[in-house]
Each structure stands twice: as C-alpha cells, then as structure tokens.
Structure 1
Amino acid sequence: MRNQILVLLGACSYGILSTIVVLAYGHGYTLGEVAGSQLLMGTALTWLLVAANGWKKKRTLRKSVEAGRAVIPPQRLVWKQRLLLMAAGIPTGATGLLYYGALQYIPASLAIILLFQFTWIGVMIQTVSSRKRPDNRMLITLAVLLTGTLFAAGILERDAGQFQMWGVILGLLSALSYSLFVLFNGRVVTQAPPASRSAWMMTGGLITSWSILPPGFILNGELWGELLLYAFLLGLFGAFIPPVLFAAGVPHIGEGTAAVLGAAELPVATLMSSFVLGEYVSALQWTGVVLVLLGVGLPELLRERSRMRMRMIQ
C-alpha cells in the first residue's frame, strides 16, 4: 500500500502543473522558458536531495566506524548505469515539451484528456512486453477511467472547432512519452536509491529539453525575474516530487498499476482549473472526476473483495 500511495501522490502533484503553466503563459512566457526553467529547477532540487542523503549516509557511516561496528560502504553507480538512467530520462523532458506545447493550441481540459491516454497505452506496453493479457480487474478499471476521463474533460460538451490538429498530435505524443517515462521508472537500474535514479533521469530530461529549445532565459536574465517563481513551482511539483516518488514506488507495483494510479492527475487538474483559474466545470465534468477517483481506487477495492472471498472459502 505504501508504494501505491507514493505513486498516487506523485500523480496528484502532476495535476497542479497545467494551472501553473496557463498562469505563466498569461504573463507572456514561452514554451522554452516554461519547460526549460522547470527542468532546471527540478534537476537542481533533486541533486540537492542526493547531496543531503549522501551527507547523512557519510555521517552515519562515520558514527558506525567510531563505534567499532562493521559497515558496508554504499555502492556508487558506475557510468554505464548513469548513462542508462540519463537515456531513460529523455521522456521526462519530452513529456513537458509536448504537453506544454499542446496547451498553446488547445484548451487545458482537452490537452489533459489526450495526455490521459497513457492509462491504456501503459497497459498495452506492459501487455506486449510481458506477453500477458490484462486481467478482468484491469480491463474494468480502464473502462471506468476512460469513461470518467471523457466526462471530466468536457469533451462531450465541446465544439469540434476547438480540436486544432497540431495540438491534438502534441497531446497524444505527450501521452506516449509519459507512458515510456512510467515504463523506464519501473525497469531501469531499479536497485539504485530513488533520489539518485531520479537525479540522473532528470539530468537526461534537462539535456533533452535544452537540446530542442536552448535556454536563452538564462542569458537574457528572464530567469531572475517572475519566471523564477514559476520555475520553482513547476520544478517542485513537476520535476522533483513526482520523479522521486515514482522512482521509489513504480518498481514495486508495476507499470500497469502505476498507469492506473497516474489517472489521479485529472481530478486534481480539474479542481485547480475550477478554483484557481475560475474555469467553469459542468455537472457532467464533476461526474467524470468522481468516476476517475473511483477508477483509481477500484483495483484495491476488487483485491480486497477477492481476499474476503478467499477467507470465506477457507
């Protein structure tokens, strides 16, 4: 249960991002400034966490040596592992660029429904890689999640003229990229400490983002203005908290379950849009939010029901 909660909290943290991005765009900042500064801040915060953990471990090791206890020094990552993690972090940078790019062309509620196609994409990737068909519990959960997502995004009440093709393409690509992010979190160098894994993956994401959109905001001084506040908020909730929590939880619960729990991002995004941005949320959309929340908790409810049946049989 602990690992499920970690992934759930990481997904909820992601739900805050679209509101902050819309506010940043409203102040005239560009895609490169928003996405690039977020990854810069998130990477810096993650490496600070690694440094703090390293200092704590050294102090504990020193005390153990002084007390005469036998200790095993912590293993350091070799460069092959670091490079693998940096490569696995490419989707981290790509997802931000693609999703924030989609927000420039289509409404946030539509962009997030496209991003949320990662729920079934992630399950399909796991199905193909494991050559194992999803069980009925997972299929029921996906059906509830997809129905709730359609309602919550208001797509059934939306004018077809709002579907700008370029925004739709970017949104779908962000879903694929996010699915790969979840997949790599569960499979690449899983024996490494979560903070170290996250730091090297964030570094790979940062290099990817800056390779596509060079960080001119550093040279022109934009970073040291109001952009710094947006960079900190986006870095904290989008590039620091979720990768660390995902790195800790996903290897223990699997990519399929992580993809389902990741759907908690949508209700949070809807609530933020309503209360912070003042966007209108219809009764049908609130119904969708409830369905998504039900879908997130459904796997655990079905597991508990199965356990109760087994106890009754015994």
Structure 2
Amino acid sequence: MKYNIAVLLGAISYGILSTIVVKAYGRGYTLGEVVGSQLMIGCVLAWALAIGMRGIKQRRESNSKAERRVKQAGVVGRLTWKQRITLLAAGTPSAITGLLYYESLRTISNSLAIVLLFQFTWIGVVFQAIGSRKKPNRITLMTLVVLFGGTLLAAGVMEQGATHLDGRGVALALLSAVSYSLFIMFSGKAVPHAAPATRSAWMITGGMLFVFSLYPPQFLFDGTIMGQLLLFGLLLGFFGAFMPPVLFTYGVPHIGGAMAGILGAAELPVAVLLSSAVLHEYVSPLQWFGIALVLAGVAMPELINRIRHSQPSYTAHSA
C-alpha cells in the first residue's frame, strides 16, 4: 500500500503544477522565469538528496573486497563523463515538455491543456509500435478509441465545436505530449544502473542547462528572484522537478509500470479540479464524463489483463 500511495502522491504533485504556473503568469512572470526558477530549485533539491543518499550509502558499506570492486566499477555512484552527458541529454525532453506545456497555458484553459498533455498515453503506443514494427493488439486499439473519444468530450468539442479552441495553444499542448512520450522512452534507458537519486539529479541538471541556454537566467542577477518568483520557483521545483521523481523511483519498482500508469493518471482529475476550484474555469458535466473516459482508457489494458489472469483455466481430460 505504501508504494501505491507514493506513486499516487507523485501524480497529485504533477497535477497541481499548471495551476501554479497560471498564477505566476498572473503576477507578470515570463515563461523563462517560471521554468528556469522551477528547474533551478529542483536541481538544488535533487543534488542535495543525491549527495545525502551517497553519504548514507558510504557509511553503510562494509570494507569487503567485492563491494570495493563494485564501487570502483562505477555501479554505486561514480559515473564516467560519457554517462553523465547521456543523463544530461536524457533530461532535455522533460524541459522541452515544460516549456511547451506552460506556454500553451497562455492561450488555452488549464483543464484543456492537461487533457491534451495526456495524449502521451496513445502517442507512446504509436512510438512503441513504430520502434518494434508490430501492429498494436486489439486491446490497445480499443484503448485508443476510448482515449480519443474521451479527449473529444473533455475538450468540449462535442458541445462547442473546435472553433473556440486556440490553434497555437492546442498545437503546443499536443507537442508537449510528444516530448513527454520521448522523455518516458529515453529516461528509463539512460544509465539504468546508476543510483536513482544521482540519475535524477543529472537529468534535472540537463533540463536546467537547456532552458538556461534558451532563456538566460537574468532573474538571478536583476533581483527578480527575490520577489514572489522565489515562492513560485520553490513550489514548482518541489512539486514538479523534485518530489515526483523521488516518489516514482520509490514506488514504481514495487508495483510495476502498468499499475503506476493507472495511479499516475490521478494527475488529470487533480489538475481539472484545481482549475475549477482555484482558477474558476467552467468544466461541464459532459467534459467530466470525457475525463472519466480518458481515465478508463488508461486503466483498461491493466484491468483486462487482471481479469483474464484471475479467471480459472480448465483442462479437459479424456477418459
């Protein structure tokens, strides 16, 4: 149960980010300031955790020859520069996701943006099918239909048509779903033997350096960071760049990726609820039904597999 709760809390943490970003925009802060401060704070927190975990592990290690060989091989904490660069590059898609998603919030509603971001669920399936050169099975196709139908309802297309949607904002949100799918694909394959806290720290650093190359962090030198931007950066850095990776690293290995995907879908209703309660965005009953369909589509493959495995199998015996 504690591992399920950890993954659920990580998803909830992601769900509150867009509301904080909209509030930061309302205070006049720019995209570069919002994303830059988030990743800077997240980077500091991630390295503090990585260094702390390394110190604890070193104190617990014995002096056996076998453990010394493992440590010298770089499995415990020492990474080569090639491995570090790989992790830095693996963190770039996450930063791109933040830039695209947060920019879309300028022109489309928070509730719509999160629904469009959630299209990473089927985009990832498409990427996997292309990479493996295998057609999706029947369950996957059924899931995609449910997800697509739920998205149309959740976006309000069935009620208001597509003319009320800002094309640029929709395109940015969908591109953020593509980059998030790429992040999921690459992050799990980048130096998997490294300590989770160390991997997370290097990947967040890569994302931060990428953002700073596009948006130089002038807020660090002109005094902007000493205002409310520091509060927004702390909230976004803690709930976005720091806590979810820590909680997912703790919980996902024990519950599996399928169940983690179901629990991770809690991000969607949390974001929409906050949009309605804090930002006062109107979400119609039909849109709520669409959101429920999206959640059902996320959970459908795992639920069908569990039902199949729970059914007793009978073997016919001939006399």
Fold shared per TM-score above 0.5: yes
Please list the CA deviations of residues 39-73 of structure 1 after superposition, one character each: whole Å capped at 9, or x if unmatched.
11111111111011011112212xx34xx897444
* Structure 1 pair 151–3 and aligned structure 2 pair: CA distance change class (3 A): farther
**Counterpart residue identity of residue 115, structure 1:** L
Contact persistence 1:186–1:247 (CA under 8 A) = no
- Stretches of structure 1 lacking an aligned partner (at least 5 in a row): none
Contact persistence 1:49–1:195 (CA under 8 A) = yes
Report how far residue 12 of structure 1 moved: 3.4
Which residue number corresponds to residue 29 of structure 2? Answer: 29
Q: Distance in 2 between matches of 1:146 and 1:6?
A: 29
Q: Distance in 2 between matches of 1:17 and 1:288?
A: 22
Question: Superposition pairs for residues 79-94 of structure 1, below 5 Å?
Answer: 79-94=81-96
Once structures 1 and 2 are overlaid, which stretch shifts more, 80-89 or 257-266?
A: 257-266
Contact persistence 2:77–2:198 (CA under 8 A) = no
Q: Distance in 1 between matches of 2:192 and 2:249?
A: 8
Please list the CA deviations of residues 149-183 of structure 1 after superposition, one character each: whole Å capped at 9, or x if unmatched.
33233343346454333223322221111111111
Report how far residue 105 of structure 1 moved: 2.0
Which residue number corresponds to residue 53 of structure 1? Answer: 53
**Counterpart residue identity of residue 21, structure 1:** V
Please list the CA deviations of residues 84-134 of structure 1 after superposition, one character each: whole Å capped at 9, or x if unmatched.
011111111111111111111222233223322212111111111122332
Structure 1 vs Structure 2: percent identity of aligned residues?
55
Q: Distance in 1 between matches of 2:209 and 2:8?
A: 27
Please list the CA deviations of residues 274-304 of structure 1 after superposition, one character each: whole Å capped at 9, or x if unmatched.
2222322211122123223323332332121
* Structure 1 pair 8–81 and aligned structure 2 pair: CA distance change class (3 A): farther
**1:243 and 2:245 aligned:** yes
* TM-score, normalised by the number of residues in structure 2: 0.85
Which residue number corresponds to residue 20 of structure 1? Answer: 20
Report how far residue 199 of structure 1 moved: 0.9
Q: Distance in 2 between matches of 1:227 and 1:145?
A: 36
* TM-score, normalised by the number of residues in structure 1: 0.87
Contact persistence 1:118–1:178 (CA under 8 A) = yes
Question: Superposition pairs for residues 1-314 of structure 1, below 5 Å?
Answer: 9-61=9-61, 64-65=62-63, 71-72=67-68, 73=71, 74-158=76-160, 160-246=162-248, 249=252, 262-309=264-311, 311-313=312-314
Once structures 1 and 2 are overlaid, which stretch shifts more, 154-163 or 94-103?
A: 154-163
Bigger Rg over Cα: 2
How many residues are aligned here? 308
Report how far residue 259 of structure 1 moved: 6.6
Q: Distance in 2 between matches of 1:131 and 1:252?
A: 28
* Structure 1 pair 83–250 and aligned structure 2 pair: CA distance change class (3 A): farther
Contact persistence 1:41–1:236 (CA under 8 A) = yes
**Counterpart residue identity of residue 170, structure 1:** L
Q: Distance in 2 between matches of 1:60 and 1:91?
A: 35
Contact persistence 1:112–1:153 (CA under 8 A) = no
Once structures 1 and 2 are overlaid, which stretch shifts more, 256-265 or 11-20?
A: 256-265
